């Protein structure tokens, strides 16, 4: 842990570690946590939600162009911080609520349920450091057509339904859903606690695989995607400049 201990982790009132919590702990890459979730039960809960619960993301519509999602906890980033409260859909998802609020052993800042369409992808991007340096990003795998691969900082990680991963979202990362069905996962950002740090440290490291042809392909797909979406991207960046000044 590079000399860091759970007790020495920054608390929310402290300046967050400049390079993110995982690297503060001496961890590079993504970690498969040492427990699984009941993906089938969670999928059944989600399948009973009204279709209107899922919406196209207006936060970064270029990166999230192929994704439908909803907030289970917390709110999108905005000019004023909002509390990490339960959102309406979570009342219909009791198993997911217990998992997010009780099983992880830390305080969630936000949790987003995301559905990446078949054949869709999330291009290479890096999350905004000033919003995420003080949190740990967990990715809970719920449903997919076959194992899914996450690209993160030059390596590929194969993830299966039921697994939970700590993901370094402050490094360049991307996902390509090559399956015939949607990929469903939950992205949850937690304030680090002693219990969560212990779980992360006990996780499995070194699962990243170097795959140069796949890396070149996702880089090429990313360039094409951003080129096609350049005007939408310009509009989004202008929108961010406006709300930051509010």
Q: Which two tokens stand for residue 128?
A: 């905004």
Confidence of residue 124 (pLDDT cuts 50, 70, 90): very high
* pLDDT (0 to 100) of residue 237: 47
> Residue 67 pairs with which residues in a beta bridge?
116
> pLDDT at position 243, please?
38
| pLDDT of res. 6 | 53
Right CATH for 6-244 from 3.40.50.10490, 3.40.50.720, 2.60.120.330, 1.10.1740.10: 2.60.120.330
User: Distance between CA 196 and CA 105 in Å, rounded?
Assistant: 6
Neighbour order of strands in the sheet with 148-152: 121-125, 173-176, 148-152, 155-159
Strand partners, 139: 165, 187
Looking at residue 146, its pLDDT comes to 79
Read off the pLDDT of residues 212-240 as tens digits, 9 standing for 90 and up.
Answer: 999 999 999 999 998 888 665 545 444 44
Domain boundaries, the chain: 6-244
Would you state the pLDDT for residue 3? 47
The total number of residues written for the chain in this structure: 246
Percent of the chain beyond pLDDT 70?
Answer: 87
Band (15; pLDDT cuts 50, 70, 90): confident
Higher pLDDT, 31 or 146: 31
Structure tokens of 218?
């996702």
**Environment class of 214 (CB within 10 Å of its CB; exposed 0-12, middle 13-18, buried 19+):** middle
Each residue of 75-120: pLDDT tens digit? 987 777 789 999 999 999 999 999 999 999 999 999 999 999 999 9
pLDDT tens-digit readout, 204-214: 999 999 999 99
CA 159 to the chain's CA centroid: 13
Dmax over CA atoms of the chain, in Å, equals 48
Chain centroid to Cα 24, Å, comes to 19
33-42, 125-134, 209-218: which range is least confident on average? 125-134
What pLDDT score was predicted for residue 4?
A: 53
C-alpha distances (whole Å) from 152 to each of 30, 111, 181, 182, 194 are 8, 20, 23, 20, 25
Q: Please choose, from the candidates 144, 145, 127, 124, the residue with its C-alpha nearest in 3D space to the C-alpha of residue 136.
A: 127
Question: Which pTM value belongs to this model?
Answer: 0.88
Q: What is residue 78's predicted lDDT score, i.e. its pLDDT?
A: 72
Instruction: Give the closest residue to 143 by CA, choosing from 107, 96, 105.
Output: 96
d(C-alpha 164, C-alpha 125), whole Å? 21
Q: What is the pLDDT of residues 146-182, one digit of tens each?
A: 778 999 999 999 999 999 999 999 999 999 998 999 9
Q: Which secondary-structure segment (H or E) carries 139? A: strand 136-143
């Amino acid at each position: 842990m590079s000399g860091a201990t759970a007790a020495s982790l920054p608390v929310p009132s402290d300046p967050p570690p400049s390079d993110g919590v995982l690297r503060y702990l001496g961890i590079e890459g993504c970690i498969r946590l040492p427990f699984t979730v009941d993906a089938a039960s969670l999928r059944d809960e989600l399948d009973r939600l009204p279709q209107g619960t899922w919406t196209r993301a207006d936060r970064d519509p270029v990166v999230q162009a192929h994704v439908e999602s909803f907030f289970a906890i917390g709110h999108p980033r905005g000019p004023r911080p909002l509390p990490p409260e339960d959102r309406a859909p979570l009342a219909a998802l009791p198993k997911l609520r217990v998992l997010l609020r009780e099983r992880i052993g830390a305080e969630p800042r936000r949790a987003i349920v995301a559905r990446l369409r078949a054949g869709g992808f999330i291009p290479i991007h890096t999350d905004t450091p000033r919003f995420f340096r003080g949190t740990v990003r967990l990715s809970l795998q719920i449903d997919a057509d076959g194992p899914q691969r996450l690209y993160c900082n030059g390596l590929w990680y194969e993830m299966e339904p039921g697994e939970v991963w700590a993901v370094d979202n402050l490094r360049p990362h991307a996902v390509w859903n090559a399956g015939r069905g949607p990929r469903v996962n939950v992205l949850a950002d937690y304030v680090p606690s002693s219990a969560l740090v212990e779980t992360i440290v006990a996780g499995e490291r070194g699962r990243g695989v170097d795959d140069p042809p796949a890396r070149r392909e996702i880089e090429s797909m990313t360039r094409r995607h951003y080129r096609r979406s350049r005007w939408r991207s310009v509009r989004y960046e202008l929108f961010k400049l406006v709300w930051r000044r509010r």
